[in-house]
């Protein structure tokens, strides 16, 4: 009987641990409450051996210098077969540039979001640069609509009214239109469905001081051709 009680207690603890690991964000119910991504202030690119293959770990924030560092890392390690992503996003245009670099200069590279890792925002576009793309079950492809509305300086400028507000609105509209055009062109070139923009990214907008996020299910990832390899 003591052994049975111990077994029951162990099973309950495992279940509780699993429930905690799968806890979802009440404000963004498709996404984990605590996304697992690297907190590196700039994306670190680290070649490692995994299962007899050389992998490039891409961990941290997408910054303006990423495209150049990514090219250098892959040229110095021509035997890299995959890039694994863990990132909270970052500079949107640099993400697009890095993704285009992968497709044009390193088309054989596989991009992967491993189980327990998260690729968010600008990281999405670096990931989609891979010709072959894998999102493992338990890996998270998390998106949001690019927006300036969460920026405090922008909100204060808009609240002030007058010429300053008009200039800010004009700058926002111009920047947003440019990025929307970049994103649309990027998805077409990468073979990803434009419905990812119209049905997911541009339907997921920041609200007030918060942020609405959306995480693709496995079926959605293949429906939009974000992932195109099943293992």
Query: How do residues 33-57 score in pLDDT, each as one tens digit?
Result: 999 999 999 999 999 999 999 999 9
Q: Decide which of 3.10.20.30, 3.90.226.10, 1.20.120.450, 3.90.420.10 is the CATH code for 30-223.
A: 3.90.226.10
Helix intervals (H) in the chain: 2-21, 66-76, 92-105, 122-127, 152-160, 162-190, 195, 218-223
Output the CA torsion sign for 201, 150, 112, 216: negative
Q: From CA 40, how far away is CA 111, in angstroms rounded?
A: 20
Any idea which of 15-19, 28-32, 90-94, 190-194 has the lowest mean pLDDT?
15-19
Examine the pLDDT at 192 and tell me if it is beyond 70: yes
Q: Which residue from 91, 145, 87 is spatially nearest to 119, judged by alpha carbons?
A: 87
Reading the block at residue 47, the tokens are 């070649």
Helix axes 162-190, 152-160, angle to 10 degrees: 140
Degrees (nearest 5) of the Cα angle 122, 120, 42?
60
Q: From CA 201, how far away is CA 121, in angstroms rounded?
A: 9
82 in Cβ contact with 109 (< 8 Å): yes
189 in Cβ contact with 100 (< 8 Å): yes
User: What value does the mean pLDDT of the chain take?
Assistant: 81
Examine the pLDDT at 69 and tell me if it is beyond 70: yes
Determine the pLDDT at residue 3.
44
Determine the pLDDT at residue 149.
42
Q: From CA 182, how far away is CA 21, in angstroms rounded?
A: 36
Q: What is the pTM of this model?
A: 0.78
Q: From CA 23, how far away is CA 21, in angstroms rounded?
A: 6
Any idea which of 84-93, 109-118, 165-174, 199-208 has the lowest mean pLDDT?
165-174
Determine the pLDDT at residue 200.
86
Q: What is the pLDDT of residues 116-131, one digit of tens each?
A: 999 999 999 999 999 9
Examine the pLDDT at 9 and tell me if it is beyond 60: no
Q: Which residue from 138, 174, 167 is spatially nearest to 153, judged by alpha carbons?
A: 167
Helix axes 66-76, 92-105, angle to 10 degrees: 30
82 in Cβ contact with 231 (< 8 Å): no
């Amino acid at each position: 009987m003591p052994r049975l009680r111990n077994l029951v207690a162990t099973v309950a603890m495992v279940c509780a641990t699993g429930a905690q690991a799968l806890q979802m964000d009440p404000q963004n119910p498709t996404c984990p409450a605590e996304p697992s991504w690297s907190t590196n202030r700039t994306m670190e690119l680290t070649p490692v051996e995994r299962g007899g293959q050389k992998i490039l770990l891409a961990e941290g924030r997408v910054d303006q210098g990423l495209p150049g560092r990514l090219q250098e890392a892959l040229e110095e390690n021509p035997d890299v077969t995959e890039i694994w992503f863990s990132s909270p996003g970052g500079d949107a245009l640099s993400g697009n540039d890095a993704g285009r670099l992968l497709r044009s200069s390193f088309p054989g590279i596989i991009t992967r979001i491993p189980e327990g890792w998260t690729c968010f925002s600008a990281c999405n576009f670096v990931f989609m640069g891979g010709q072959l793309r894998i999102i493992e079950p338990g890996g998270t492809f998390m998106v949001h609509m690019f927006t300036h509305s969460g920026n405090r300086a922008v909100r204060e400028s808009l609240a002030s009214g007058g010429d300053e507000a008009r200039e800010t609105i004009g700058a926002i509209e111009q920047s947003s239109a440019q990025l929307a055009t970049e994103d649309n062109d990027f998805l077409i070139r990468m073979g990803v469905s434009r419905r990812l923009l119209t049905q997911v990214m541009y339907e997921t907008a920041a609200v007030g001081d918060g942020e609405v996020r959306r995480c693709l299910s496995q079926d959605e990832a293949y429906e939009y051709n974000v992932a195109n390899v099943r293992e």
